Homo-oligomer: A and B are copies of this chain.
Amino acid sequence: MSKQLPRVPSKERSQVVFGATLRSFREARALTQEALAEKADLHTNYVSSVERGERNLSLHNIVRLAYGLEMDVSALLRPLDKR
C-alpha cells in the first residue's frame, strides 16, 4: 500500500489558520489593528479581514505583515506546516 500524501488544506482553512496566527502575534505585541496596519503599510480594514480569515492574501502582503510584527516570515506560516 502506497503512503497516503497529506491532503492540502482548503483555501478557507489556510486563511482561517493564518488569520488566527496573525491576531495572536499582534496581540502578543500589544498592537492594535490600526498600529499593525500602519507599520505594514496596509489598511486597517484589510488587516481586520485577514484576521477574520476572509483573505487569500498575497506573498508580498504576508511579508509586509511579518515585517510589521518584526518577526520572520517563516514563523508566521509555521501553523500551516504539515501535521
Residues of A within 8 A of B (CB): 5-6, 8-9, 11, 14-15, 18, 40-41, 56-60, 62-64, 66-67, 70, 72-75, 77-78, 80-82
Cβ-closest chain B residue relative to A5: B70
Q: Are A81 and B77 in contact (CB under 8 A)?
A: no
| Residues of chain B within 8 A of A78, CB atoms compared | 72-74
Q: Which residues of B contact A11 (CB under 8 A)?
A: 59-60
SS of A interface (majority): helix
CB distance from A55 to the nearest CB of B (A): 8
Do B81 and A14 touch (CB < 8 A)?
A: no
Q: A14-B59, A15-B59, A58-B58 are in contact. Are A73 and B64 (CB under 8 A)?
A: no
Which residues of chain B come closer than 8 Å to A5, judged between CB atoms?
A: 67, 70
